[in-house]
Amino acid sequence: MPFPEPSNSVPRRATVLLAKSSITGAATREMEDLAGRLQAVEGVGHVVFAFSEQGAPSLRETLTALADAGFDEVFILPLLLPMEPGFRVWIDRAVHRWQAEHPQRRWPRVQVGEPPAALAGMDALLRDMAASQPSDPASTPASALHTVGSLIPAQKYRVLVCQGGPCNNAGAALVWGHLRNEQKRLNLRTSGEGTMSAKTSCLGPCNLAPVVQVFPEGTYYGGVDEAGIDRIVSEHLLGGRVVDALAYAPLPVKQPLRAPTEAS
Ligand code: FES
């Protein structure tokens, strides 16, 4: 990520365009193009992009790179319409967790903006859209849908990542994004005994949020963060052993979330 040279007098500002996910190179190039065009807007500073779920760079990677490069102010602009309240909560938590991990270092001031619908300029956006060359969905012949097949690899594990309200408020989007990035990096579809993953609605034990469940055993994991995903991947999905420190067995009594020290 190329950064402009520091200036001694003017605070260095960066704007992060935060999208949800990119599973194709085309989507990432779209973000690169948007960041490049917005770079010309006065006052936004250096413009970069990040993804909150699947795709690189993640928000954490981007914020770390900007802090390393000495930026004084970072403005995060969520690109999500309509804005989900949980997405804003997730951004705040992600920033706080990122700063809490290295309390000694100097962090830039981070601010979070409103999504574009709440800003002036929608009229210009609509003019842009009207001037573009929209494609007609009906122009894709139905017969084209039958010309390509899908691979069905042998897979033992299925990881469900809860996206219910309490889990989202506790950082489930970050958990999902990290799992998907690791799934791609380690080729988990075919590594070991094979793994697929999926988002779900509420899995039940909301007080243990963020909750992840691994099948075929149906193991419940609670309080899962990125480090927890790393353990579940290496020990359970690739090693075949349940991560007892993060697992919650079915019991006839309510179980509270264990403190991290007890879960380590
Ligand atoms: S919202 Fe995740 S378990 Fe209920």
Confidence (pTM): 0.64
Query: What pLDDT, in 10s, does the model give residues 242-264?
Result: 999 999 999 999 999 997 654 44
Which atom of ligand 1 has the smallest separation from the CA of 172? 2
Which atom of ligand 1 has the smallest separation from the CA of 164? 1
Sheet holding 109-112: strands in order across?
46-51, 13-19, 73-78, 109-112
Distance 48 CA to ligand 1 centre (A): 33
CATH code at 157-248: 3.40.30.10
Q: Which of 23-27, 95-99, 132-136, 203-207 has the lowest mean pLDDT?
A: 132-136
Given this model, what pLDDT does residue 263 score?
46
Ligand 1 pocket member 204 (CB < 6 A): yes
Which atom of ligand 1 has the smallest separation from the CA of 205? 3
Ligand 1 pocket member 164 (CB < 6 A): yes
Q: Mean pLDDT, to the nearest integer, of 60-70?
A: 90
Ligand 1 pocket member 209 (CB < 6 A): yes
Ligand 1 pocket member 167 (CB < 6 A): yes
* Residue 188 pLDDT exceeds 90: yes
Given this model, what pLDDT does residue 185 score?
92
Hey, what CATH topology would domain 13-117 get? Answer: Rossmann fold (3.40.50)
Ligand 1 pocket member 79 (CB < 6 A): no
> Given ligand 1 and candidates 89, 169, 203, 224, which is best to mutate, with the most ligand atoms within 8 Å of its CB?
203
Given this model, what pLDDT does residue 122 score?
64
Q: Give domain limits for the chain.
A: 13-117, 157-248
Which atom of ligand 1 has the smallest separation from the CA of 209? 2
Ligand 1 pocket member 206 (CB < 6 A): yes
Ligand 1 pocket member 175 (CB < 6 A): no
Distance 162 CA to ligand 1 centre (A): 6
Higher pLDDT among residues 117 and 150, named by residue: 150
- DSSP character string of 202-263: --S-GGG-S-EEEETTTEEE-S--HHHHHHIIIIIITT----TTTEE---SS--PPPPHHHH
Looking at every residue in the chain, the average pLDDT score rounds to: 84
Given this model, what pLDDT does residue 252 score?
94
Distance 163 CA to ligand 1 centre (A): 7
